[in-house]
Structure 1
Amino acid sequence: MKSHDLEEIKWERWGEKALRRAKDENKPLYLFIRSNMSPLSLEMEECSFLSQDVVKALNEDFISVKIDREEYPFLWEIALVTSCVMNGSGGFPLNLFLTPDLKPFFVARYMPLEGTPSNPGMVDCLPRIKWLWLTGNQSVLSASEEIMEGVKKATEVGGDVSLEDALKEAVSKIQQDFDQEFGGFGKDTKTPMVPRLLFLGEYSRVFDCQVSDSIFSRTLDVMSQRAIRDHLGGGFFSYSKSRDWSNPMLEKRLSDQAMMAIAFAEGFDRYGKVSYWRAADEALAYISMDLFDPERGFLVGRPFDPERKGYYSWSKEEVDSLLGSDGPIFRGCFAIDGPDSIPSMPSSLEKMADMEGFEDPEDLVDLLSKGCQILSSARMNRAAPSLDNRIITDWNALAIVALARCGRLMDRPNYVRMAERVCSIFLEGSVVHCDGVPAFLEDYAFLTWATVELYRSTEDKKWLDASLDLEGRARELFSWEDSYRVNSKGGEGILFPYSSGQDGSVPSGAAVMAGNLVSLWLITGDESYLTRSKKVVEHFGGAISRSPENHLFLLLSVLRNMA
């Protein structure tokens, strides 16, 4: 957030000072929730916020707060729910207008400087919102109360659930959403949905289910081949804008590398496929070389940079000039046929080897590996997208989980040693989310998971002791109604006490804690951990019953105590 502060706008940090100013001055709060990984967030900052009319309105009539999604994930979650309740959808960026008592009364997604009939603009909306606040204050307050009730209702999670039925229904709904042709889920934009993959892998193991097994392996196969994977630099992009995974969003996030490495290592452990081992190994090699700060841990990643999107793409002429006689084969295997192609393998190595006339697929692997090394070296001479050099605890904890688990499953002790090194950094002193921001549930939940994985990989009791300590501190700070709230009791302002068990690109903190409690039961034999894990799952019974396919990490903890 600090790197994007615009001097013209008097941005406040989220916290007590901003909330107190709103009450003292009787002004609405304006929350701009952004992400370095969102091109539309950058566009608003570079266009809408440079207008002197917008600057004047925000400074005089509102208490303006800029929030990074990575720094305050729980605010993003609640804002997203609010947007869905009010507008039917949500996404980056989000613009929220709140009463001084933190009740929303207007929400919009991307707001250009000047609006259209379907998309309100900043210069149009700000004067209207000011007028509405000054002249219709009571009606605004009444409407905000109704909106808040709708948001609270949308976040209700309690209710009865048959876990046996929920498990079966989850697999059924995943099967309906599965793309038979291209793997993954849905028929448009594709995101890896790693929590879903990990659930499928465990479900197939527990129940010997061929359906979940084939969905799991097919999706891993396609993701390892297509452009969602950075075949030259290692690791994975965050998602694909096309159904066939060939048009990736050119951003590389630490959290995605960690989750994908875990998924492919689990796939390797189950099927023994060398291609899965390579995909996981390259993802961890990428974060170790490109994102690692020896003093602080792993950086956030490389956001999308519209001025440097050519960093990842290649033309036919460039490939041929670098690879010579191997160029046509390399281009054919990686579908480099236009001026700005991103390497993407349309079929399996075995099929490509047959098409190119190789009797042994490993000979093609050698040719492609050599070509990737040459192009990777050439790419290093290009101007790379900038690094987001913030350190975020929960994402680092995910990286530790990935290093520890992959090191164990893939027989890579160097990864376990790196996991120990990084974890030691985050266990020194008090736990925070990032610089200047207090810790949230996810930070404690993922660090507990990380130390559990380190204990499983090393059998060093210090990591078990750390797990028990972190679990106890999480219970003390975040416990709420048999589950956990997203921020600590008495923490920085939040619209209302909020608990979520729903999966995103990473699992929720509550779901991870449910799994941690199962792990501690399995390690220590203390039944109280299992009892508490079951209570966490039961707390979300209504939400699981309504959409089991969105609460798979909670159901994963159920599977683990059934095995």
Structure 2
Amino acid sequence: MTMAQKEKSPNKLIHESSPYLLQHAYNPVDWYPWGEEALQKAKQEDKPILVSIGYAACHWCHVMAHQSFENEKIARVMNEHFVCIKVDREERPDVDAIHMDALQAIGMQGGWPLNVFLNPDAKPFYGGTYFTPQQWVNLLLNIAEAYRKDRQELDRSAEQFVQHLNQSELKRFGLSQSRTGVSEEEFEELYKNLARQFDKKHGGFGSAPKFVMPANLLFLLRYYAHTENPAALQHLNHTLHEMAYGGIYDQIGGGFARYSVDAKWLVPHFEKMLYDNGQLISLYAEAYLLTKEPLYKDVVYETIAFAERELMSEEGGFYSSLDADSEGVEGKFYTFTRQELQDLFEAEEPILSKYYHATTTGNFEHGQNILHRRISDAHFAKENELELEVLEEMVKTWKEKLMEVRSQRVRPGLDDKILCSWNAIMLKGLADAYYTFGNKHFLHLTVRHADFILRHFKQGEGLLHTYKNGKASVNGFLEDYALLIGALIRVYEITFDEKYLQEAKKLTDYTLANFFDEQEQLFYFTDQNAEKLVARKKELLDNVIPSSNSVMATNLYLLGLYFDEEHYQQLADAMLAQVKELVVKEPGHMGNWASLYYDRLQPTAEVAIVGHQAPEMRSELSSFYIPNMLLAGTENRSDLPLLKDRSAIDGKTTVYVCYNKTCQLPVHTAAEALEQLQNGNSGNQKFPAL
């Protein structure tokens, strides 16, 4: 608490745990958290509600807070005319989704800060994003006057918006269930539609601002695995290199920023989010399996080191994000002037500045340089007549020294709430890293993290969403269940500890009982036992995080194979069939669905390993890129359907390779199993129609 805050009285946010809400606890605005108290106050006083939504690492949220919410005069206007509610979108994604949808229904561009006006029944009628102080005051006064004079009209608008919010997502996108199955022709059309969005010059998709979109890039890996189309692999490699060389990647400390404001990946929006980095660990690890590109391994190792160093709690969970700003300046923590580099490195500075493209005038604001690369170390060493080993040692020393300098600077703000869904993403990233590289430290981190999540977020049969200061709260959302189930499946594959797979099945059964809509064959985002909002939404589109429905469909497919649950697989197929038309036409918004489409083109390889060397055999098999494969194993015996009644023949560790409940002859070496995996499914045998 600052001295200035001590002189002020806190508002209702002072009792919250969210760092974003606590940032506003000493505003002169009479903020309330989202909840019954604020909603009842609006009804009792017959006042409209202002819901202002943001998150701790949001730059423009901070700007508007400083300009308007910390302003006494503006706060008086807000307090006089409105019941004011602050929402952390990461803590309450359900509230955020409804009001973002309402804003877009008004015809406005979405984003944060998100400011939406509601009537006392919590039904939205108007909104916007960032406003300058004068714009904000004018809007407040206009809304207040309209509420007094045209209340009925505003209520009518609110009713129309609520009808829109409750419209079926399938109807909104004009979707009807397709029963035509999956096909090679459709799969190729899907790829061509995605390829139209390629930025062939700089990598990625579209133009600025440019987000990393891991689900789309993972699909390119699977598409290449199926078709060996060189254009797909070329674009994937180009994108991964450009991102790893660009300013969006922290060249000194590892880890990725949220997005690039330009098309070249040079100037990032400097906030670092846990969910981006977890997914990018998975992406670069999987890409390494296919390409064996050393750069991808470096990115995985450095990004895990960043997350462990700067986002990991003492208990073993991961915090949500690092702010873009420090000392009120975006990127100040990460950038250097040429003079600073000269003072630090003296005779070595010219080669360092050439390596990181630092200039006297700077490539960012106020003469600052965003350190970035454009070519490989081998290429740079050759261009500058250096031995590669010498350059690598120099770079290592440069990074250590620059990290030491950065450690003396004021750090960006840390959002130290721990979210179940985002931690599940990081859990899968760690498990994928171990799957690819076999690093024992990654295995230790994975197991510790999995046990942390299950210990702190499980409540009865269900999950809670957020954890801080020893306490978990907020009913879990579908994203919490879906992402954790997917991660636990992967943790099972690298440990063969069945408790993780059994936990995944229990959570799946809970979602089917409490989230599933039998009529539309899709999952709601919220638990039927959770707070009732004006709409109950379903999440279909894959974005920077895959949609919870696409993740659940994939989970159901995989668990259906593990547990021989035909019902699970039927549901997965029905879910894909519901959205298949959109997957093919708009794959840029359906990347994770597209990967499930790939899974269904031909039977998944079911590999069961039995015997005392099962972990070693798994390690050998997982060093090859076989994306449409699931692994099961036991050193003794198991009642898991994939392992039941299977044994180590003649006391030797035995591998059973099966496709669609048909198994090939058991073998005893990884080489033999790989030959069966390569030859046993020629690609001609397809799954039946959905």
For residues 154 and 304 of structure 1, the distance between their equivalents in structure 2, rounded to whole angstroms, comes to: 37
**Shift of residue 149 of structure 1?**
3.7
Aligned equivalents of 1:272, 1:70: Cα separation in 2: 36
- Correspondence for 2:84: 64
Percent of pairs identical after alignment?
26
C-alpha distance in 2 between matches for 1:558 and 1:100: 45
Which residue among 23, 32, 51 is the counterpart of 1:4?
Answer: 23
What SS does the corresponding residue of 2:592 show, helix, strand or coil? helix
Tell me the distance in 1 between the aligned counterparts of 2:560 and 2:199: 37
2:194 corresponds in structure 1 to 174
| 8 Å CA contact 2:247, 2:268 repeated in 1 | yes
Match of 1:336 in 2: 358
1:452–1:463 Cα contact (<8 Å) kept = yes
Query: Structure 1 residue 77 and structure 2 residue 97: aligned?
Result: yes
Matched ranges for 1:328-407 at <5 A? 328-337=350-359, 338=362, 339-358=367-386, 360-407=387-434
Inter-partner Cα distance in structure 2 for 1:145 and 1:528: 39
Aligned match of 2:559 in 506, 510, 520?
A: 520
Q: Which residue of 1 aligns with 2:549?
A: 510
| Structure-1 separation of matches of 2:370 and 2:262 | 13
TM-score of the two chains, using structure 2 as the length reference:
0.77
Q: Which SS does the other structure have where 1:367 is aligned?
A: helix
The structure 2 residue matched to 1:25, chosen from 25, 38, 45, is 45
2 CA distance for matches of 1:441 and 1:166? Answer: 29
* Cα pair distance change 1:321/1:210, threshold 3 Å: same
Letter of the 1:80 partner, please give it: M
Write the mapping of 1:103-182 to structure 2, written as runs, cut at 5 A. 103-114=123-134, 121-153=135-167, 155=169, 156-157=172-173, 158-161=175-178, 164=183, 167-182=187-202
- Measured in 2, the distance between the counterparts of 1:168 and 1:86 equals 36
Structure 2 residue matching 1:292: 3-state secondary structure: coil
The equivalent residue for 1:117 is none
Question: Where do 5+ consecutive residues of structure 1 fail to align?
Answer: 115-120
Q: What CA deviation, in whole Å up to 9, does each residue of 1:418-459 have, x standing for no partner?
A: 111112122124121114422111111111112111001111
TM-superposed deviation, 1:181? 1.3
Return structure 1 stretches of 4+ with deviation > 6 angstroms: none
Contact persistence 2:312–2:318 (CA under 8 A): yes
Cα offset for 1:73? 1.8
CA contact (8 A) 1:15 1:492 kept: no
**AA of the residue aligned to 1:432:** L
Aligned position for 1:465: 502
Matches within 5 A, 1:282-293: 282-293=302-313
Contact 1:230/1:236 (CA < 8 Å) preserved in 2? yes
Residues in 1 aligned to 2:342 and 2:29: alpha-carbon distance in whole angstroms = 50
Residue 229, structure 1, aligned to residue 243, structure 2: no
- CA spacing shift, 1:169–1:82, aligned 2, 3 Å: farther
Aligned equivalent of 2:489, options 446, 449, 452:
452
Per-residue CA deviations over 1:236-273 (Å, capped at 9, x if unaligned) read 11111111111111111111110111110011011001
Could you tell me how far apart the structure 2 residues matched to 1:278 and 1:343 are? 17
* CA distance in structure 2 between the aligned counterparts of 1:16 and 1:491, rounded to whole angstroms: 13
* Greater share of residues in helix: 1
Distance in 2 (alpha carbons) for counterparts of 1:533 and 1:45: 44
Identify the residue that residue 271 of structure 2 maps to in structure 1.
251
- Asked whether the 8 Å contact 2:190–2:585 carries over to 1, the reply is no
TM-superposed CA distance for 1:464, in Å, is: 0.9
Larger mean Cα displacement after TM superposition, 532-541 or 281-290: 532-541
Q: Do the aligned residues in 2 keep the contact of 1:249 with 1:304 (CA within 8 Å)? A: yes
Moved more, 456-465 or 547-556: 547-556
For residues 294-337 of structure 1, what are the alpha-carbon distances to aligned partners after superposition, in whole Å with 9 as ceiling and x for unaligned? Answer: 22611112111152532211122322333343322221111011
For 2:280 and 2:254, the matched residues in 1 are separated by 12
Aligned residue number for residue 261 of structure 1 = 281
CA RMSD of aligned residues (A): 2.1
Does residue 37 (structure 1) correspond to residue 76 (structure 2)? The answer is no
CA 1:292/1:44 → structure 2, altered by over 3 Å: closer, same or farther?
Answer: same
CA distance in 1, matches of 2:62, 2:109: 20
Partner of 1:213: 233
The DSSP-based 3-state class of the residue aligned with 1:468 is helix
The structural deviation recorded for 1:81 is 2.5
Deviation at 1:150, TM superposition (A): 4.1
Check whether the contact 1:296–1:391 (CA below 8 A) recurs between aligned residues. no
Question: Given residue 568 of structure 2, which amino acid in structure 1 is its aligned partner?
Answer: Y
TM-superposed deviation, 1:400: 0.6
- Of 465, 468, 477, 1:433 maps to 465
User: How many equivalent pairs are there?
Assistant: 556
CA distance in 1, matches of 2:595, 2:210: 22
1:144 Cα deviation after fit: 2.1
Greater relative contact order (Cα < 8 A, sep 6+): 1
Q: CA deviation at 1:220?
A: 0.6
Does structure 1 conserve the Cα–Cα contact (< 8 Å) formed by 2:55 and 2:89?
yes
Secondary structure class of the residue paired with 1:549: helix
- SS of structure 2 residue aligned to 1:47: helix
Deviation at 1:523, TM superposition (A): 2.4
Q: Name the CA distance, whole Å, in 1 between partners of 2:168 and 2:521.
A: 20
Flag structure 2 segments of 5+ consecutive residues without an equivalent.
1-19, 468-472, 603-690
Contact 1:223-1:245 at 8 Å conserved across structures: yes
CA distance in 2, matches of 1:342, 1:361: 24
**Alignment deviations for residues 97-149 of structure 1 (CA, whole Å, 9 cap, x no partner):** 122333321111112210xxxxxx22111222122122212111222223334
| Bigger radius of gyration | 2
Q: What's the offset of the Cα at 1:531?
A: 1.0
Tell me the CA shift for residue 276 of structure 1. 0.2
Going from structure 1 to structure 2, the CA distance change for 1:448 and 1:61 (only over 3 Å counts) comes to same
The one-character-per-residue Cα deviations of 1:397-427 (angstroms, maximum 9, x if unpaired) are: 1111100111111111221221111121221
Greater alpha carbon shift after TM alignment, 233-242 vs 49-58 = 49-58
- 1:489-546, Cα deviation, whole Å (9 max, x unpaired): 1422423121012112111111111111122123233322211111222333464465
Match of 1:489 in 2: 528
Aligned to 2:332: 310
Mean Cα displacement is larger for which, 539-548 or 428-437? 539-548
Question: 2:316, 2:21 → 1: CA distance?
Answer: 18
d(CA) in 2 for partners of 1:60, 1:166: 58
Residues 32, 65 of structure 1: 8 Å contact kept: yes
* Residue in 1 that maps onto 2:348: 326
Counterpart secondary structure, 2:235: helix
> Take 1:19 and 1:296, find their aligned partners in 2: how far apart are those partners?
37
- Decide whether aligned partners of structure 1 residues 62 and 88 sit closer, same or farther in structure 2, where only a CA change above 3 A counts: closer
- Give the Cα–Cα distance (whole angstroms) in 2 for the partners of residues 387 and 41 of structure 1: 15
Separation in 2, partners of 1:400, 1:329: 39
What CA deviation, in whole Å up to 9, does each residue of 1:446-478 have, x standing for no partner? 111121110011111111111111111222221
Give the Cα–Cα distance (whole angstroms) in 2 for the partners of residues 170 and 37 of structure 1.
35
Farther-moved stretch of structure 1 (187-196 vs 203-212): 203-212
- What amino acid does structure 1 have at the position aligned with 2:491? L
What is the CA–CA distance in structure 1 between the aligned matches of 2:437 and 2:156, rounded to whole Å?
58
The letter of the residue matching 1:135 is: K
CA contact (8 A) 1:518 1:560 kept: no
Corresponding position: 1:419 with 2:433: no
